[in-house]
Amino acid sequence: MLKKILAGSVMSLFMMGCAAFFAFAAADMGPAEITLGEGGKKPAVFPHKMHQDAFQCADCHHGMAADGSQVPYAEGQEIKKCESCHNATVLAGKMKDKLALDTLKGAGHGNCLECHKEKAKEDPALKAKNIDKCAACHPKK
């Protein structure tokens, strides 16, 4: 009897493990908390999970076509680190307004800072939280 119960619970633990594995494999959400530019001059803290709950993957993630143009995010698209494209080799000389898109700073400010400025302009409560200020992402050491 005891043997049967033990075998049963081992089996159900195994099945739970499988379910968790497949749920994870179906949608790789990435880490909940990220630090961009870690070890650099101005690391940026990024609560990824919090943004995933509030925004769409496509608000931040995209791909690149063979001709070097941007491809909008579509479900199932492979998600790579920003710096794998936003570097001096792949996007050499690319600019958006005054931002150098061939740097991680350009990609970060073009995405993160632009949205924070926009939302702070729209919503006084977010403005009051200073989300458009440097220290929101680059906490003082």
- Provide the binding-site residues for ligand HEC, judged by CB under 6 A: 27-30, 34, 36-37, 40-48, 51-52, 55, 57, 59-64, 68-70, 79-86, 91, 94, 96, 101, 104-105, 107-113, 115-116, 119, 126, 129, 131, 134, 136-138
Whether the CB-CB separation of 62 and 81 falls below 8 Å is answered with no
What are the CB-based long-range contacts (under 8 Å, 24+) for 76-79? 79/28, 79/30
Give whichever of 28 and 141 is closer to ligand HEC, judged by the CB atom: 28
Give whichever of 7 and 134 is closer to ligand HEC, judged by the CB atom: 134
Provide, rounded to whole angstroms, the least separation between the CB of residue 74 and ligand HEC: 11
Nearest to 51 by CA among 129, 112, 4: 112
Provide, rounded to whole angstroms, the least separation between the CB of residue 138 and ligand HEC: 5
Whether the CB-CB separation of 109 and 99 falls below 8 Å is answered with yes
Provide, rounded to whole angstroms, the least separation between the CB of residue 125 and ligand HEC: 8
Q: What residue type is 88 in one-letter code?
A: A
Give whichever of 1 and 78 is closer to ligand HEC, judged by the CB atom: 78
Q: Could you give the CA distance from residue 51 to residue 6 in angstroms, rounded to a whole number?
A: 42
Give whichever of 85 and 88 is closer to ligand HEC, judged by the CB atom: 85
Burial of residue 26 (number of CB atoms within 10 Å: 0-12, 13-18, 19+)? exposed
